Amino acid sequence: MKKLLYQLDTDALPAVFDNVVAYDGGADHVCAYGGVNASNVGALVEGAIFTRGPKDKKNTAIFIGGGNMTEGQAVLDAVQKKFFQKFRVSVMFDSNGSNTTAAAAVAWLSHGRSLAGKRAVVLAGSGPVGQRAAVLLAQEGAEVAITGRKLAAVQSACDLILRQFGVKAEPIEAPSNAERGAALAGAHIVLATGAAGISLLEAKQWQEHATLELIADANASPPAGIESVGMADRGLTSHGKTLFGPLGIGALKLALHRACITRLFEQNDLLLDAAQIYQTAKSMVG
């Protein structure tokens, strides 16, 4: 029986990245729908849950993506509302690569060390990757702060993760490199999750820092989010700090994304969201 993945994307054009990884993860056929929202997803879900018998349902799965994590979350909630008894299929939620990228970054940061009691600052963390990374860092025991250009936006990201995950993060308004540097006072970990090609921190701000131990940058589009962190750095030591660059994180992110797609077809009732994807990342890292 063919493994069918329904790629439901909240953007008008479904992401090619998610489509390719779906095939590489083992789907035989990927049906990609754009413009999916909480109001129009119902009929798509019915098609997925009412077509195959109980033993065969694991060969149908749903992937929810798109650039807007709030809209993606609403689609996930609407999908799950349609499920009842055994009429369900496995679902992966990864708007903008949020869960897989954050899980890969935090799995590397916590690999072989405890983050408990460390102060972690997520630079430009109001986006999908930053929010999820903040949650995972806090769940690893770190004391987390998120910076953003406007307090209102970063406060609303912190409110959202408190509501959804019960996790506290301190919002910090830091619109310039100097203010982001100041936000790092007493920090042990800095993770940059700014928009592609946005520079957030100069080299000397981390190289001369007294307390920083771990430096990670998710942004793969030049210029770097954190100056002088190499694209492929993965545990490199420089200036007494351990560095992780976007491709160093990205290799695990891709392998993780594929592994999660594979898992979708092993049973018909799996939900792969932040916690489950992070557990998979921890089992793969290193």
Residues forming contacts to ligand NAP in the complex (CB under 6 A) are 96-97, 101, 124, 126-130, 148-149, 153-154, 193-196, 198, 218-220, 246, 249-250, 253
| 229-242 b/e (C-beta count within 10 Å ≥ 16 → b) | bbeebbeeeeeebb
Nearest to 24 by CA among 253, 262, 246: 262
Residue nearest ligand NAP, CB atom distance = 127
Nearer to ligand NAP, 34 or 82 (CB): 34
Nearer to ligand NAP, 116 or 178 (CB): 178
31: left (phi over 0), alpha (psi -120 to 50) or beta: beta
Q: How far is CA 194 from CA 165, 219, 224, in A?
A: 22, 7, 10
Q: How long a stretch of residues is the chain?
A: 286
CB proximity list for 279: less than 8 A, separation 6 or greater: none
Q: Please provide the DSSP assignment of 58-77 as one string.
A: GGEEEEEE-S-HHHHHHHHH
Nearer to ligand NAP, 4 or 259 (CB): 259
Q: How far is the CB of 141 from ligand NAP (least distance, A)?
A: 23
Nearer to ligand NAP, 121 or 249 (CB): 249
Q: How far is the CB of 101 from ligand NAP (least distance, A)?
A: 4
Q: How far is the CB of 97 from ligand NAP (least distance, A)?
A: 4
CB atoms within 10 A of CB 154: 25
Nearer to ligand NAP, 89 or 249 (CB): 249
Q: How far is the CB of 202 from ligand NAP (least distance, A)?
A: 14
Tell how far CA 66 is from the center of its chain: 12
Q: How far is the CB of 83 from ligand NAP (least distance, A)?
A: 28
